[in-house]
Amino acid sequence: MSVKFEVVPSLSACEALNSEWEELLRACPQATVFDSVGWIKANVLAFQNPASQNDLLNNALLNNASLKNDTWILAFRAPDSSLAGLIPLVVRRGRRYLRERRWVEFAGQPYADYGSCLVRPGLEGPVAESLLEFCRSKAAAWDGVYLDRLRADDPLLGHVSVASKKSGLATSVRESGHIRRLTTQEFTRGSTGHSSKSLRKARSRLSEQGEIGFEVFARGQPIVERLEVFLAWHVERFASKGLRSPLADPQHRAFYRHIVEELAPQERLWLSVLTCAGRPVAMRFSPVFNGTLHLYSTCFDEAFAKFSPSMLHLEMLLEHAFRSGITCVDFGLGESPQKEFAGASAAQTLVTFEILRGRMASFESRTYQAVERMRSRSQLVARTGKLLRRVFPYDVR
């Protein structure tokens, strides 16, 4: 079976695909909120549209705007015209390794826990062939295709690799991280439902400051009303460590507003708030889809730092989530004491898949991978790598 692709020309045209997009989400067992039209739209509105910064908040303007030439939302159709796949892509320009290059990436990245890529089960082969056909047709626009945070067991991965090699393109696959998850059964039978001694002590000390409360908001307006406090906390938290928060950037702030605007009406976003004496202490943004809660972004008031606010908040959130019918909590990439405390197990391995055009791009990628393998074995290599990153900072836009 062969499939044909079409490039969605505008955000308003994406609206016309809503019902088909939703049907495809339900047909793909491993689909996440990061595959939804709302998540993709929030990314495109915040980071890809040619409108000025002052126009970023004007949805009426942005929804009718044509997508830039370097934003490609690919819709793949089977012979019966049914939707076989949706792969939103963008071209980013900047430094990934040494030289500045043009990279094709998922439009839902770089701030999604999973690569934004929907393919109907059984059609991965034809979609992979069609995807490579499209990439070859746009060869002048890119130096590499960088598909990050794909599941290692995703059938599409193998088909894209085979199709790339048939086209004579160099490829590479490397592990990019692990996702920890916690199911209802694990939470119920494990020790996760019981506070540690130190956490019980922190809760007791916090209660001396006032009555402890916990609330989850799932509608847009109450989330928006608390958004500025969340953003301010994040900036202050980073500043206290001598760092600049990404949420100090107007585009990132707009991104969070768009997440609320796009996901909250679909009941796909929670803002959970821990309070003390009616005062917010800690908050967490958590997209939700199909019974899975994604722990996405958290922050707390520095004035309450000594009370372990993030840990207290997580404990109360897990209790609320499983009590409310959530069947799985996805902790996202990376490791932290919070994840270990919760008892979340590594349930998913993610990989980065690259298609490289040109010898220099391939050489840079392979050199980077070789150094990464050596880094854990040699402190000298690790220190040299950090120094090189200061000279050649990662910077893809």
For residue 192, pLDDT over 60 is answered with no
Q: Which of 208, 301, 226, 223 is nearest to 263 (CA)?
A: 223
Q: CA–CA separation, 86 vs 350, rounded Å?
A: 20
Domain ranges of the chain: 4-168+358-396, 182-347
Class of domain 182-347: alpha beta
The region of weakest confidence among 2-16, 104-118, 372-386 is 372-386
Q: What's the fold here for domain 4-168+358-396?
A: Aminopeptidase (3.40.630)
For residue 395, pLDDT over 80 is answered with no
**Cα torsion 181, 187, 193, 194: sign:** negative
pLDDT given for residue 44 in this prediction: 87
pLDDT given for residue 323 in this prediction: 95
Compute φ and ψ for 115, nearest 5 degrees. -65, 135
For residue 226, pLDDT over 60 is answered with yes
By percentage, how much of the chain surpasses pLDDT 70?
Answer: 83
Angle CA 224–229–233, to nearest 5 = 140
pLDDT given for residue 49 in this prediction: 44
Entry pTM: 0.86
In this predicted model, what pLDDT tens digit does every residue of 342-372 receive, in sequence order?
777 777 899 999 998 877 676 677 776 676 6
Q: Per-residue confidence at 78, pLDDT binned at 50, 70, 90? A: very high
For residue 146, pLDDT over 80 is answered with yes
Say whether 182-347 and 4-168+358-396 share the same fold. Answer: yes
Q: Per-residue confidence at 54, pLDDT binned at 50, 70, 90? A: very low
For residue 266, pLDDT over 80 is answered with yes
By percentage, how much of the chain surpasses pLDDT 90?
Answer: 58
